[in-house]
Structure 1
Amino acid sequence: MLDFYPLAKPVFHSLDPETAHNLTIKMLSRGLTGKIGRPQRFDRLKTNVFGLTLSNPVGLAAGFDKNADTLCGSLALGFGFVEAGTVTPKPQSGNDKPRLFRLTKDKAVINRFGFNNNGLEYFAGKLSAHKCPNGGIVGANVGANKDATDRTADYETGVRRLYGLSDYFTVNISSPNTPGLRALQSKAALEDLINRVLDVRSEKVAEGLARIPILVKIAPDLTDDDIRDIADITLSTEIDGLIVSNTTIERPQSLKSTSKEEGGGLSGAPLMEPSTTMLRRVYQAISGAKPLIGVGGIASGLDAYCKIKAGASLVQLYSALVYEGPGLVEKIKSDLNRLLREDGFSNISDAVGKDC
C-alpha cells in the first residue's frame, strides 16, 4: 500500500495545526485518504467485543472527527472502528484560538478545543446518511455543553437523540477542557450519570430497539480511590466497558517542545507509559470482567500490543497520525499480526491481559 503522506507532511506542518486538521477532515470527507490500496485483513485480528464484530481492534479515537463528517473516509484508512464526537446537545464554538499545538520534538499534541461541534442535529444527520461501502463500526462520543445547568441531562439527551444511529456510545466525562466536567468522575456523580444514561437505553429497548453498548471514557490522572470507585460502579451496573484514557493535564519533565506549557490536554507519545499503567490498574481492579479500550500514545504495532497485553480488548489512536500519516494504520495492523504470530496467539483476544 502506497502512502503519500511523507511528501505532503511538510506542507501540512507548515500550516497552523487547526487549519491543517480542518483540511484533513475536508480531504477525508471527499474520499482523499492519502494512500492507494485496499485495507489489509488478518484473521488473527478479527474480534468480537461488546457484542460487535470487528475486522481488527485498531480504532480512531474521538476528537478527530468531531461532527461525523468523515466516517467512511476514516474507515477506508483500515480502522476496525471509528469514534466520532464529542458532540453536545447544542452547537458550541469551543475555546478561543489558538487551541491546538504540535509538540514536534515530543511527537505529542496539546489541545484545549472545549467540545467545539455543530450540535446533535447536525451529528444525527451525518450518522443517518452514512453508508460506507465496506461497512465498519461507528461509535458516538457524547458530552455536555459548557453552559449546561444539568450536565447529566445533556448526556441523556445525546444518547436519546442518537440511539439507533451508532453501534455504540461513549460517555465522555474526562476531557480537561470543559471546566468542572471531570467532577462527574466522582463516585456519587458517576453513579447517577451512568444510571440515568442506562435508563435511556432501557426505555429504547422497551420500545423494541436493539441494546447498544455504552462505555465511559475516563482520565489518566486518577487516584487509587478514584479507580476503586470507578471499578465498583463498572461492576455493579450494566455499563459495557471503559475507555482508558483521555488526554492528561500532567506535563512530564521530559517534554522538549516550546509549546509544552500550553494549557489543555496532552496526548501522543508521552502519554503511552502513564496511560498503559492506568489501563493495567483498571483491568486488575475489575479483574478483567468487562472489556476495555486502550488509548494514549500508540504509534506502532508494538505499542498497540503492549496495550492489549495490559488489558485492552481494543485500542484507539489519533495523535500519532499527525506525525506518521494515514499509512500508520496498516503498519500497526501488519506488525500486530506478526507479534501475535511470533508469540503463538491464534487470535487477538487470546493476548488480552496477558501481562496482568
Structure 2
Amino acid sequence: MHDLAARALHALDPEDAHGLTIRLLQAGLGPRGGADDPILATDLAGLKLANPVGLAAGFDKNAEVYRPMLAAGFGFVECGTVTPLPQAGNPRPRLFRLSQDRAVINRMGFNNAGLEAFAARLAGARAAGVVGANIGANKDAADRVGDYVTGLERLWGLASYFTINISSPNTPGLRALQTRAALEELLGRLAEARDALPPAGRAPMFLKVAPDLEDGEVEAIVETVAAHGLEGIIVSNTTISRPPLASAQAGETGGLSGAPLMGLSTQVLARFHTAAAGRLALVGAGGIASGADAYAKIRAGARAVQLYSAMVYEGSGLVGRIKRDLAARLRADGFSSVAAAVGTA
C-alpha cells in the first residue's frame, strides 16, 4: 500500500511530493518493519546496528521523521544537512525526477530550518535508535569551517554520529574543502573541538565525500581523515558527472543520484577500501535499489550502506526487500555475518 502511495505522489511536483510525504509520516501513516534477521546485525564504528541499511541524509533535513523511518525498518537514519542559520536554499524548481533513468537531480542548496530547530527535534533521538546528524555550512558564512564546529558543539550528546558534509555540489565552493590543505584545517579544528567537549557525548565522525575525485585524492583524503581521528568516510554524495541518460531533464544543473550513480560510487568505494586498509569504517551510498546493490557495496568495502533516491521509485517497502535479499545472499555465499563479507569482492 505504501509503495502504491509512493507512485501516486509522482502526480505532484517532486518537492511538493516530498513535503507531503513528511507530513504523512508525522501523522503516523508510515510503514512498519518487522524484526530483523540476526545475520544482518553489525557494528559501524562502535554503533550497534540491527541491520546495515541506513537512510541517507536529504530525506529528513530537519530531523522531523527519524522515528517513523526507524520504525519502517532502517538500521540507522541520518538527518540533515543542517546549517547553523536557517536558509531557503536555491530557487525552485530544484528537484527533478529522471524516471526513465531511475534517477534524481537536485540543486537544493542546503535548505533547512537551522540548527536550533534541528537540535530541539533531535532531543531524545539516541534513545530511539541510531540517528546521525549531517552538518554543513551556510552559503554566505564568513568562516565555513567555524560553521561545522558550531554544528558539532550544538548537537553534541544529541546525535549518535556526525557526518561532515563537504561534498554537496549545490553550495558554491564547498567541494574545495576536499583539497588536502583545506581538509587539514577543517578536520583539525573539528578534532580540537571534539576533544574539548564532554567525553560522555562522544560520537563517531564521518566525512562524506564526492565520487568525482582525481587520481591521488582518495589516498590524500584517507590519510588526512585517519590522522585527525575521524572514524570513517561515507562514499559517496551525488555526482556532477553525466553518464548517458534518457530522461528529458538530464541536462538540469545539480547533483545526480539514483541508479546511474551505482557503478561510479562503488568503484570509488573500492578505492577507499584499498587506501584505508582497515583503518576506517566505510559507508557505501549512491545508487542502491536492491539487495544485490547493497551486497555489492558491502563486498566492495562498506560496513553499512545508505539509500534515498530509490525510494522515489520503489516506495518505502524497498528497505524490507533489500534486507531480505541481502540476508539470503550472505547465507548463499557462506557468510555468517555482514562483517564477514566486507571487502571480499
Is 1:40–1:330's contact at 8 Å kept on the other side of the alignment? no
TM-score (norm 2): 0.98
2:22 to 20, 25, 48: 25
1:328 pairs with 2:318: yes
Paired with 2:33 and 2:236, the residues of 1 have a C-alpha distance of 30
Which residue is equivalent to 1:308?
Answer: 298
Paired with 1:284 and 1:173, the residues of 2 have a C-alpha distance of 22
Where do 5+ consecutive residues of structure 2 fail to align? none
List structure 1 runs of 4+ shifted beyond 6 angstroms: none
1:202 pairs with 2:195: yes
Identify the range of structure 1 (85-94 vs 231-240) with the bigger mean alpha-carbon deviation. 231-240
Residues 42-89 of structure 1: CA distance to partner in whole angstroms, max 9, x if unpaired? 111101111111100000000010000001011111000000000000
Paired with 1:9 and 1:191, the residues of 2 have a C-alpha distance of 42
Which residue is equivalent to 1:244?
Answer: 235
The 5 Å alignment of 1:1-356 reads 4-33=1-30, 35=31, 37-130=32-125, 135-204=128-197, 207-253=198-244, 255-355=245-345
Identify the range of structure 1 (4-13 vs 160-169) with the bigger mean alpha-carbon deviation. 4-13
Residues 311-332 of structure 1: CA distance to partner in whole angstroms, max 9, x if unpaired? 0000000000000001000000
Paired with 1:10 and 1:292, the residues of 2 have a C-alpha distance of 32
Instruction: Please state how far the C-alpha of 1:252 moved relative to its aligned partner.
Output: 0.5
Instruction: Please tell me the residue identity of whatever aligns with 2:18.
Output: H
Identity of counterpart residues, as a percentage?
57
Instruction: Please state how far the C-alpha of 1:209 moved relative to its aligned partner.
Output: 2.3
Paired with 2:146 and 2:101, the residues of 1 have a C-alpha distance of 39
Residues 86-132 of structure 1: CA distance to partner in whole angstroms, max 9, x if unpaired? 00000000000000000000000000000000000000000015487
What is the aligned-residue RMSD (CA, Å)?
1.2
TM-score (norm 1): 0.95
Instruction: Please tell me the residue identity of whatever aligns with 1:49.
Output: L
Tell me: CA distance 1:292–1:223, structure 2 relative to 1, closer, same or farther (3 Å).
Answer: same
Aligned residues: 345
Paired with 1:177 and 1:121, the residues of 2 have a C-alpha distance of 23
Instruction: Please tell me the residue identity of whatever aligns with 2:52.
Output: P
Secondary structure of the structure 2 residue equivalent to 1:224: coil
Is 1:288–1:311's contact at 8 Å kept on the other side of the alignment? no
Secondary structure of the structure 2 residue equivalent to 1:96: coil
Paired with 2:192 and 2:26, the residues of 1 have a C-alpha distance of 35
Is 1:72–1:131's contact at 8 Å kept on the other side of the alignment? no
Paired with 1:350 and 1:156, the residues of 2 have a C-alpha distance of 36
Paired with 1:5 and 1:305, the residues of 2 have a C-alpha distance of 25
Paired with 1:7 and 1:168, the residues of 2 have a C-alpha distance of 33
Is 2:10–2:17's contact at 8 Å kept on the other side of the alignment? yes
